[in-house]
């Protein structure tokens, strides 16, 4: 199973592009888009402290259940055959940590490969995540992307209800969801 994991706040065209690349690279593998639940861990290890610091920089607009529903809607429309056959799906999962690792094994089984982006520029956060998963004995792959969408910018566009800026950066399902959730004016 190929697992692409993140918070997806919000799910945007960069995420969709990564999934499309995974489908092309692994046409016969099951692909899971795993949405991390926002949880705080007490007495965490060094990686947990790094995650806490990274998460403090970012704003959570949706809970993991809403995010999964949205992503599954996108996946069902974009990959109808794979979705209906269970070859591509989204689910919630616990935050990665040595203390939560057994639940990750229980959820995803033994044959896990975690997919991470490989940006044009060095990305310390992606490197740290890969190193953690590898330290837990799992395989990781890096998928080259050209990063042209910034989640922080998207969250600002949402705050400002800037539909015209969002229109070309998120899938149609995400745009409809944002309009409804944040009572944004419809864009024609």
35-87 pLDDT per residue, tens: 998 777 777 788 888 888 887 777 788 899 999 999 999 999 999 999 999 99
- At 187, the pLDDT band (50, 70, 90 cuts) reads low
> What integer is the mean pLDDT of 17-33?
96
Rounded distance between C-alpha atoms, residue 1 and residue 107, angstroms? 11
Residue 33 confidence class, pLDDT cut points 50, 70, 90: very high
Q: Give CA–CA dist 172/141, Å, rounded.
A: 28
Whole-structure pTM value = 0.91
Please choose, from the candidates 140, 133, 141, the residue with its C-alpha nearest in 3D space to the C-alpha of residue 97: 133
Range name among 17-21, 60-64, 183-187 with the lowest pLDDT average: 183-187
The domains of the chain, with CATH numbers, are 2-148 (3.40.50.620)
Q: Per the omega criterion (within 30 degrees of 0), is the bond before 65 cis?
A: no
């Amino acid at each position: 199973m190929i697992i692409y994991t993140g918070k997806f706040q919000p799910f945007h065209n960069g995420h969709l592009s990564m999934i499309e690349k995974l489908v092309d690279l692994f046409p016969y593998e099951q692909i899971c888009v795993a949405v991390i639940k926002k949880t705080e861990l007490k007495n965490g290890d060094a990686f947990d402290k790094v995650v806490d610091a990274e998460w403090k920089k970012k704003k959570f607009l949706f809970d993991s259940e809403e995010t999964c529903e949205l992503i599954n809607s996108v996946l069902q429309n974009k990959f109808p055959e794979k979705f209906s056959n269970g070859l591509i799906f989204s689910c919630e999962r616990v935050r990665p940590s040595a203390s939560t690792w057994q639940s990750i094994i229980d959820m995803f089984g033994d044959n896990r490969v975690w997919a991470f982006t490989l940006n044009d520029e060095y990305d310390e956060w992606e490197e740290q995540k890969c190193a953690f998963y590898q330290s837990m004995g799992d395989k990781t792959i890096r998928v080259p992307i050209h990063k042209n969408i910034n989640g922080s910018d998207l969250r600002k566009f949402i705050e400002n209800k800037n539909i015209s800026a969002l229109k070309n950066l998120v899938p149609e399902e995400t745009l409809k969801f944002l309009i409804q959730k944040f009572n944004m004016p419809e864009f024609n």
